[in-house]
Structure 1
Amino acid sequence: MDPEQQPPYGAQEPHAVAATSEPKPAKSAKKHTDASFGLKDFALWCGIPILIMVLLRVFVFGMYLIPSSSMEDTIMPGDRVITSQLTPRFGKINRGDIVVFKDPSDWLPAEKTTEGTDYLIKRVIGLPGDVVECAGNGAPVTINGVVIDEQSYIKPGVEPSAFAFNVTVTEGHLFVMGDNRANSADSRYHKNDAEKGLVPIADVKGVAFLRYWPLNRIGWLSAHHDVFAHVPEPKTIPSA
């Protein structure tokens, strides 16, 4: 090599620079980064949705298997329903709502259920202060003196009530009845128990709004609020 073409002292020829570069640590770092992203992706796409579903199940929605025929034909034995747990806690229960509630005063032995359970399901007919009555023998139910037409949800061929009753709903309670009045041990049958046949609102676990099983019966559960549209509000609410 011509001395004039030699690189100055301390300089390196181009091929020497390439030889001294170290790409391997960078490649190793990239692999480590990819592994970290994989764990984050798993937590993001799997862990968080599962956590959300668990929280919704515990605090927002309830799921129940219906073991009896007291709500036929709206809900059949073996149907599974979803309830809103927020309504009784933060909202207002209305006439016509289908509610799941704890056994208020040993009602369950009178219910013909297909399996053991601690809860019952009925339709709300009377709110606090309402006067709910019926003359029996095919006569319609009246609330605060107004006749209600229940044909949209009562089981076909079944009377509103086979016997007469007259109940005033006390503060903090509900008067409930099954849609299958011929096979529902509801508020009418328990006038002599500790709660006088009424359901404490505090015992309501949720308002049913969806039937999700069986697949051929999936659908919304109607509260039929229109049936009660002309019922006047009670003038007074007696204390329990």
Structure 2
Amino acid sequence: MAADDTRGDERRAADSHIIEVADYGVSPEPRPRNLRANPEHADPESQGYTFHDFLSFVVPFAIFVVILALLRVFVIGVYEIPSGSMEDTIQIGDRLVTNRLARPMNKLRRGDVIVFKDPAHWLVGTDNHGSDDLIKRLIGMPGDVVACKGSGSPVTVNGVAIDETPYIKPGTEPSNFAFKTKVTAGNVFVMGDNRANSADSRYHAEDGNGGLVPISKISGVAMLTFWPFSHFKVVKSHHEVFAAVPGVPKS
């Protein structure tokens, strides 16, 4: 066999092991310009929003709004504080979030800062800014005896003196006058942290209910202040202040 024929056979043998690459020189079939007129060829990513797309956005948003509304009605309360009766714990103008579930779930404890509806016309003659809500600290539970001998003496609960320095406003006394109250069933005894400027259970002993607040009037327990942002903080209940008080009456 001639040398040229041999070389030709070798080239053909070598060529049989080469994999051809795709021919990128041939233009693909052009896509139709009017995608709406040719839906079977339409690119889903290039189409406009459909009604299904609209629903997929609106439905989750609506569910979120409903859940937020339910939380607002049944779980959390939001209040603005118009007075200084709870200084320095809570300042005038602070926005406050409360837990509405504390009362119905029997989670009330001594030391809780509670929001409640005016129990017996406490707000008559005051600038209540159109609201009938008040905020104080829960000092006595049903069955407790809350007392104080007056200026220079501590408040006692069931005969045990409590140290209120963690929350009482500096420079104020636990009470500048004497009082003694037995907390009846279904009620609580409340006091403001700013004792010098708080018309609380002490001041309303003649309101027909001994100055006590019916548990049914309690709207929630304060959790935190969120506005102004510089005042953002958790509202502390300071349950430890009452740790030595005998008995833990249920609400």
TM range (shorter): 0.7 to 0.9
Maintained 8 Å contact 1:131/1:166: yes
Alignment-mate amino acid for residue 117 of structure 2: K
Tell me which structure has the larger Cα radius of gyration: 2
Q: What is the distance in 2 between the residues matched to 1:67 and 1:27?
A: 66
Q: Does 1:43 align with 2:37?
A: no
Give per-residue Cα distances to partners, 1:58-113, cap 9 Å, x unaligned: 11100000111100000111011000001111232100000000000011136565
Q: Does 1:162 align with 2:176?
A: yes
What does residue 155 of structure 2 align with?
A: 141
Alignment-mate amino acid for residue 193 of structure 2: D
Deviation at 1:34, TM superposition (A): 5.1
Deviates more, 1:85-94 or 1:130-139: 85-94
User: Which SS does the other structure have where 1:233 is aligned?
Assistant: coil
Deviates more, 1:100-109 or 1:33-42: 33-42
Maintained 8 Å contact 2:103/2:215: yes
Alignment of structure 1 residues 1-240 onto 2, 5 Å: 24-26=38-40, 35-109=50-124, 113=128, 115-233=129-247
Q: What is the distance in 2 between the residues matched to 1:183 and 1:109?
A: 16
Deviation at 1:126, TM superposition (A): 0.1
Q: What is the distance in 1 between the residues matched to 2:83 and 2:38?
A: 70
Identity of aligned residues (%): 52
User: Which SS does the other structure have where 2:202 is aligned?
Assistant: helix
Normalization by structure 2: what TM-score?
0.79
Maintained 8 Å contact 2:140/2:157: yes
Maintained 8 Å contact 1:111/1:184: no
User: Which SS does the other structure have where 1:89 is aligned?
Assistant: coil
Structure 2 CA distance for partners of 1:172 and 1:187, relative to 1, 3 Å: same
Q: What is the distance in 1 between the residues matched to 2:53 and 2:99?
A: 36
What does residue 14 of structure 2 align with?
A: none
Maintained 8 Å contact 1:99/1:207: yes
User: Which SS does the other structure have where 2:110 is aligned?
Assistant: coil
Q: What is the distance in 2 between the residues matched to 1:69 and 1:175?
A: 19
User: Which SS does the other structure have where 1:41 is aligned?
Assistant: helix
Alignment-mate amino acid for residue 77 of structure 1: I
Alignment-mate amino acid for residue 197 of structure 2: N
Higher helix proportion, which one? Answer: 1
**Aligned residues, how many?**
213
Deviates more, 1:201-210 or 1:50-59: 50-59
